[in-house]
Structure 1
Amino acid sequence: MSQLFGEVAGGYDEARPGYPPEIVEAIRAYHGRGPGALVEVGAGTGLATRALLGLGAPMTCVEPDPRMARVLAARFPQVEVVNVPFEGWRPPPGGVPALACAMAWHWLDPATRNLRAHDALAPGGTLAVFAHRYDYVDPDDAAALRAAFESADPQPTYDRPESWFHDDVVASGLFTDVRSLPFRRAVPLDTAAYLRLVSTFSPQLKRPPELRERVLAAVGAAVDGFGGTVVMDLRTTLVLARRPA
């Protein structure tokens, strides 16, 4: 499942929204300065990499899908790209000062991800996990789009609680000073841009091709029906934690 997105590696970076610069400043402030080095887990095509480079630290990106890793390496030649799963990556002796994971924490082995992150960090090191939650500014748009998805594919999809990865890090008992910081933006998308975004979501990628087309036709018609633009309520949560010194 961690290699599900390689199919859309070429368009992923264009379709998915990036991250607010405030996230980088929040990581810097929490760490106390720019970290001496940073490892990003599940880096994909580099949406978060682009922001994290703002920390000014040498970066290593761990990405399991070779198709995503190729795009990442081409876009960011200054970054070391390691094409292995997080579970197969070995941190340097003594650990790293900071470890980040954007939109990929749920793809890591739930039985080991916190322990692996803890063990990869140097004592006192910073863990930064962040992710988007997609919603809609207009509740009528939200209702119309839910109806459109369900009309094409009535199979329900599961959304984790918004605080799930904060709770996951806390429940591990491995980290101290766990903080959760919210960021919120309104992001307008026209019909074509919205369909590109939907095409990168895992529920859509798991559908067979004919069903994908039905879903895109239904949700595209819904967006066209309320003017050809939908405004996303994009909520990004940053969870920061520290390996005890």
Structure 2
Amino acid sequence: MDYKPDINLKTTFDGVAKKYEEARLGYPDELFEKLIEVTEIDTEKSNLLEIGCGTGKGTVSLAKKGFKILGVEPGEQLAELARNILAPYPDVTIQTKTFEQVSQPPNAIDLIFSANAFHWVDPTVKFKKTHDLLKPHGYLAIISHERVADEKNDEYNRLSQVIFEKYIPGADFLYKHVKKISEMTPSDEYDHDLFELAYFGCFPVSLKGTTDQAIKLLETISHTIALDEETRNKFFGEMRELIDGKFGGIFEGINGSILTVLRAK
């Protein structure tokens, strides 16, 4: 929740929709079990809205449980992939639009959730509109991925950050100041007049992949998509040299899936 992105980059993902689906991480089932426990949503009565569903990485876990979900995704290619992936779940509807464009009756939604997309919403809208749409004491769940400090990955974090700063100045949100799980705390950057913190937790996931898989993932990051082709190729080349030369062509580490649940006042 602390990351403040360049809003102009929010549409870049649509051009790499297929690669996004193949390379981006999903979310652990335990995270959604905790979300259901905290919010007490149920499949018979609860209405859910997802902000920025992408290809359905976060949607599918709740869809499998039978929840009624309206997902909004501004990218046409991403939304179409999501419809195909979520076709087996008739209670899931995907609309090609931004959250700012959503038109729903006030006080009608039990849970609004967003997986790695809430930071793209207009900051003047995000908390007021979610609060307006939620039922009294409804919930807003913000899900994100963060690197987690561990012995295997700390050196990679340090060395790769040098390359990021060379080609993407200011991209410290990716690898700088990587924390241990015990050091992670909830962001205080939400509207305290409208919401209160109901839950915060980190769900670790072990990562291991080849250089090619690491590069494929980097190809789906908004900052790298926005680079000119020459600069992007140089950046990927140095990252490839780092992983192949220093780490034997294998990337290992721990990722933290962060769940922050806010309750509407």
User: Please, which runs of 5 or more residues in structure 2 have no aligned partner?
Assistant: 1-8
Structure 1 residue 144, shift from structure 2 partner: 2.5
Aligned length: 242
Corresponding residue SS for 1:18: coil
CA contact (8 A) 2:50 2:71 kept: yes
* Residue in 2 that maps onto 1:58: 68
Match of 1:42 among 49, 52, 73: 52
Match of 1:31 among 18, 30, 39: 39
Runs of 4+ in structure 1 deviating by more than 4 angstroms, as ranges, are 160-165
In structure 2, C-alpha distance between the alignment counterparts of 1:211 and 1:231, rounded to whole Å: 26
In structure 1, C-alpha distance between the alignment counterparts of 2:85 and 2:22, rounded to whole Å: 13
Task: Tell me whether 1:242 sits opposite 2:255 in the alignment.
Answer: no
Structure 1 residue 93, shift from structure 2 partner: 4.9
In structure 2, C-alpha distance between the alignment counterparts of 1:204 and 1:135, rounded to whole Å: 22
* Residue in 1 that maps onto 2:252: 231
Corresponding residue SS for 1:235: strand
* Residue in 1 that maps onto 2:5: none
In structure 2, C-alpha distance between the alignment counterparts of 1:99 and 1:55, rounded to whole Å: 16
Structure 1 residue 105, shift from structure 2 partner: 1.1
Counterparts of 1:124-143 in structure 2, within 5 Å, are 124-134=137-147, 137=150, 138=152, 139-143=154-158
* Residue in 1 that maps onto 2:27: 19
Structure 1 residue 24, shift from structure 2 partner: 0.9
CA contact (8 A) 1:136 1:230 kept: no
CA contact (8 A) 2:38 2:199 kept: no
Letter in 2 for 1:144: L
Identity %: 26
Task: Tell me whether 1:113 sits opposite 2:98 in the alignment.
Answer: no
Match of 1:210 among 230, 240, 243: 230
* Residue in 1 that maps onto 2:163: 148
In structure 2, C-alpha distance between the alignment counterparts of 1:166 and 1:218, rounded to whole Å: 33
Corresponding residue SS for 2:187: helix
**Deviations 1:73-125 (Å, cap 9, x if unpaired)?**
11112321111110110123541111111101110001110011111111121
In structure 1, C-alpha distance between the alignment counterparts of 2:148 and 2:160, rounded to whole Å: 10
Corresponding residue SS for 1:43: coil
Structure 1 residue 4, shift from structure 2 partner: 1.4
User: Please, which runs of 5 or more residues in structure 1 have no aligned partner?
Assistant: none
Structure 1 residue 155, shift from structure 2 partner: 2.4
Structure 1 residue 51, shift from structure 2 partner: 1.9
In structure 2, C-alpha distance between the alignment counterparts of 1:198 and 1:176, rounded to whole Å: 35
Task: Tell me whether 1:9 sits opposite 2:20 in the alignment.
Answer: no
Corresponding residue SS for 2:105: coil
Structure 1 residue 157, shift from structure 2 partner: 1.6
* Residue in 1 that maps onto 2:3: none
Corresponding residue SS for 1:167: coil
Structure 1 residue 168, shift from structure 2 partner: 2.1
Task: Tell me whether 1:91 sits opposite 2:104 in the alignment.
Answer: yes
* Residue in 1 that maps onto 2:80: 70
Query: Judging changes above 3 Å, is the alpha-carbon distance between structure 1 residues 134 and 7 closer, same or farther for their aligned structure 2 residues?
Result: farther
CA contact (8 A) 2:197 2:262 kept: yes
CA contact (8 A) 1:69 1:81 kept: yes
In structure 1, C-alpha distance between the alignment counterparts of 2:49 and 2:187, rounded to whole Å: 20
- The structure carrying a bigger helix percent of its residues is 1
Query: Judging changes above 3 Å, is the alpha-carbon distance between structure 1 residues 12 and 144 closer, same or farther for their aligned structure 2 residues?
Result: same
Stretch moving more, 70-79 or 209-218: 70-79
Structure 1 residue 221, shift from structure 2 partner: 1.0
Structure 1 residue 142, shift from structure 2 partner: 2.1
TM-score (norm 1): 0.90
CA contact (8 A) 1:28 1:55 kept: no
Task: Tell me whether 1:175 sits opposite 2:195 in the alignment.
Answer: yes
Corresponding residue SS for 2:84: helix
Match of 2:242 among 222, 242, 245: 222
In structure 1, C-alpha distance between the alignment counterparts of 2:170 and 2:187, rounded to whole Å: 25
Structure 1 residue 23, shift from structure 2 partner: 1.1
**Deviations 1:11-43 (Å, cap 9, x if unpaired)?**
101101110101111111111242522111110
Q: Give the superposed CA RMSD.
A: 2.2
